Each structure stands twice: as structure tokens, then as C-alpha cells.
Amino acid sequence: MTETLVRDSLENGLVHLEAKDINVWFSSKHVIENISLQFPENSVTALIGPSGCGKSTFIRTLNRMHELIPGAQLSGEVLFNGNNIYGPAVDPISVRLGIGMVFQKPNPFPTMTIRENVLSGLKLSGRRARDEDSIVESCLTRSSLWTEVRDRLDSSAGALSGGQQQRLCIARSLALNPEVLLMDEPCSALDPSSTRRIEATIRELSESMTIVIVTHNMQQAQRVSDQTAFFLAEENQPGFVVEFGPTDSLFSAPNDPRTEDYVNGRFG
């Protein structure tokens, strides 16, 4: 997806997911301040910034995983297809079905086989699949794991390598057909070749879904994303967005000197 298309979709109102004035507290500690970002349909958005600036906290507010942490508080709105996911009548479970999530550490269910892991989302959300075999095959194909595991679908997921486990987790999320996929540093525990495969998967998936990815790797942000948000937090201050815009211009011609310093590796 090119930058102009992202801009077009932004201008034409095709915003798929939008965070409006998000503030987050843990007990009394203010950790995120007034973050507003727009995620156009079928775009990839990278969230970059040094550790502890609230990127992971922010991404968890986008599918209501944030509220599971004791002491968590939040103000602001997250609009998903125009509806506030924090609205009083909204069931968090339906939000998480539409907005999937992949975590930093690969976390397949160790008591289940590869096949059961792919189908686990359907079982856990209490839905019955019509054609389980085709779901397993299509999800594993989309997460580019199918050719590696097609012959051992009934073996334990624990025997896979870290990169394969992460792609299995992606497949597990895809089985629920989410419109948005949130990825919290999906490659930070993986080696370069696994990382490359996951990045290829991200690019393929972005043809049909909106992706938000937290990453510490600036090259990765440049490789996979259409737009980038740079987060920063002063010591003991809440995190905020310094700069948000198309990835190319944010990296080549940043508006803010702090962004320039960060993307050129002068701190962080």
C-alpha cells in the first residue's frame, strides 16, 4: 500500500480505527497523555519509541486488553468503524473478536496440537466452525506456516521453533477473521530470518486487514509500515506522541528534532 493511498483513505474518511485523546493511568500514575491516532483501512501503522514510553500500553487500549490489568484507568475514545469500543453497551469480547492481537513472546497453547491451536480461538469464543480443515489450511497459509507444518498438524505446538510459534499465533488470530490485527513487538524474540518471514506475512495480510505494530526496530518500521507514530516519555512523565505521519517522510524529513535524533540513533 502506498503512501498516497493511505492519504487518500484518510482524506476520504476510510478510517478503520481511531484513537481519540487517549489517557491512561495505572492507579495514580499517568502513563499516556492525549494520544490521538488514525488507522486507515488496510494500512500498516508502526508505533516506535524508546522503552517505557507507553507503546505497548497504548496498543492494548485498542482492543480492551488494557482493562485486564489491575488498577488500570482510561479516558478518551477508540472508534472502530465509527463506534466507540468503550461505549456502555459494548461487550469487550466482541471487540477482541474484531481486533486480534499478537504478543511479544510467542504464546501458543502448550497442551494443544498445532491444529487445535489454530482452531482455539473459535472454541474459546464459543463458535462452531463449519469446515475446520479448510480454516486450518487457509490460516496457516496466510501466516506462511502451512508448508512447514502440513505434515504434523497433530503434533504439539511446543515443538515448533520460536519463529514458527509466532506465525502459529498469527494464524490463531486469523482464524477469527479479525478486521484489525494488533502486534506488540512480534519479532523482538526472533532471529533475523524468522523476522523476515513475519514481515512478509505482515505485508500480505495488510492487503485485507488493518495492522498496528509496536516495534523497537526502526528498519522494520520502515520496511513494513505505511505510517509511523513516534512515542516519547520524559522521566516520570506520561508518554505522548511526538510525531505521526507517513513513514517515508517521518524517517527522511522529520518535523521534530527529537524524532530526527531518535530515527538517526542518537538516543533510545
Partner 1 sequence: MTTLIDSSNRPWKVRDKSYQAQQLLVHAGTPLAAVAVVALTGIKGMSGLFFTWLFLHLITGALLARFGKRRYSIANSSLQVLMVACITVFVTAALSVLIPVFVKGISAFSSNLLFQDAALVEPGAELTTGGILHALIGSIIIVSIASVISIPVGILAALYVTEVRGKLTPYVRFFVQAMSGVPSIVAGLFVYAAFIVTGILPYSGLSGAIALSILMLPTVARTAEEVLLLVPDDLRTAALALGSTQRRVVRMIVLPSAGAGLVTAAILGVARVAGETAPLLLTAFGSVSINLNPAAEPMSALPLFIFTQMLLGEDNDVARAWFACMVLLTFVTVLFGVARLGLSRRKMG
Binding residues for partner 1 (CB under 8 A) = 63, 65, 68, 70, 93-94, 96-97, 100-101, 103, 105, 107, 109-111, 120-121, 123-126, 169, 172-173, 176
Taking the complex as a whole, the smallest distance from the CB of residue 17 to partner 1 amounts, in Å, to 16
**Residues 114 and 154: beta-carbon distance below 8 Å:** yes
Q: Which is nearer to partner 1, 55 or 223 (CB)?
A: 55
CA distance to 18, 48, 132, 166, 181, per residue, from 244 (Å): 13, 10, 41, 28, 19
CA 146, CA 160: separation in Å to the nearest integer? 13
**Strand, coil or helix: 12:** coil
Could you tell me the smallest distance in angstroms from the CB atom of residue 111 to partner 1?
5
**Beta carbon nearer to partner 1, 172 or 223:** 172
Shortest CB 227 distance to partner 1, Å: 24
For the bound state, the minimum distance from the C-beta of residue 257 to partner 1, rounded and expressed in Å, comes to 37
Which residue is it, cell 524524532? 259
Rounded Cα distance between 190 and 258, Å, is 29
Q: Which is nearer to partner 1, 14 or 74 (CB)?
A: 74
Residue number, 96 or 223, with CB nearest to partner 1: 96
Residue 123: name the closest of 172, 170, 166 by CA.
172
In whole angstroms, how far apart are CA 115 and each of 85, 126, 137, 143? Answer: 31, 17, 9, 14
CA distance 225 to 203: 9
Q: Which is nearer to partner 1, 74 or 97 (CB)?
A: 97
Grid coordinates representing 199 are: 514481515
Residue 116's identity, in one-letter code, is E
- Min dist CB 189 to partner 1, Å, is 12
d(CA 252, CA 248): 6
Of the two residues 125 and 237, which places its CB atom closer to partner 1 in the complex? 125
Strand, coil or helix: 64: coil
Nearest approach, Cβ of residue 250 and partner 1 (Å): 29
